[in-house]
């Protein structure tokens, strides 16, 4: 894990106090809506790797490990 990924991971870990975040929290980190996250999941579009847990109804809960979110943010954030 490089330094930038490690720094973002540590920030997320302190902020959320857990090892994975849900769709609402990811949407907040990416600055978009949960609807966009759902659309991206359905279409398989550019999101961090996630774990889909079995559940009732609409396919269960989706969790995004903080390490994957940190890596995604480092790879996608453009610095001017």
* Mean pLDDT, the chain cut into blocks of 10 residues (80 residues total): 91 97 96 95 92 75 96 80
CATH number for 52: 1.10.1660
Domain range for 70: 3-76
Rounded Cα–Cα distance for residues 68 and 73 (Å)? 9
The predicted pLDDT at position 56 comes to 65
Rounded Cα–Cα distance for residues 49 and 63 (Å)? 9
The predicted pLDDT at position 21 comes to 98
Q: How many domains does the chain have?
A: 1
End-to-end CA distance of the chain: 24
Residue written as tokens 């929290």?
25
Rounded Cα–Cα distance for residues 62 and 49 (Å)? 10
């Amino acid at each position: 894990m490089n330094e930038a990924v490690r720094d973002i991971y540590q920030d997320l870990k302190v902020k959320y106090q857990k090892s994975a975040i849900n769709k609402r929290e990811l949407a907040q980190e990416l600055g978009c809506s949960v609807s966009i996250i759902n659309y991206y999941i359905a279409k398989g579009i550019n999101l961090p790797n996630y774990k889909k847990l079995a559940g009732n109804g609409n396919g269960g809960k989706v969790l995004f490990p903080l390490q994957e979110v940190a890596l995604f943010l480092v790879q996608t954030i453009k610095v001017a």
